[in-house]
Amino acid sequence: MPMINVDETTLQVLKESGQRNIRRSYMWVYRGGDPERPGVFYQYHPSRRGRVAADFIGKDYQGYVQLLGTCAPEVCRSC
């Protein structure tokens, strides 16, 4: 069964168009694919909500999703 590892971390972008420098954003990191040669994808997003990961992964994904910290109900159908 495939697995995707997901984590997000805070990020402050200086001089972002239309945003104040004190605004907090997030860098989402997804790791998955072939266990021998996994791929990593970085997604910049202003939100920390689990919906961000759920939208990226998609509703048709059949496999495990490992989230650091808490389970996001949008991603973990068994929560």
Q: Which of 14, 15, 76, 74 is nearest to 47 (CA)?
A: 74
pLDDT by 10s per residue, the chain, length 79: 889 999 999 887 777 777 777 778 899 999 999 889 999 999 999 888 888 888 999 888 888 888 876 556 566 654 4
Residue boundaries of the structural domains of the chain: 3-67
Report pTM. Answer: 0.78
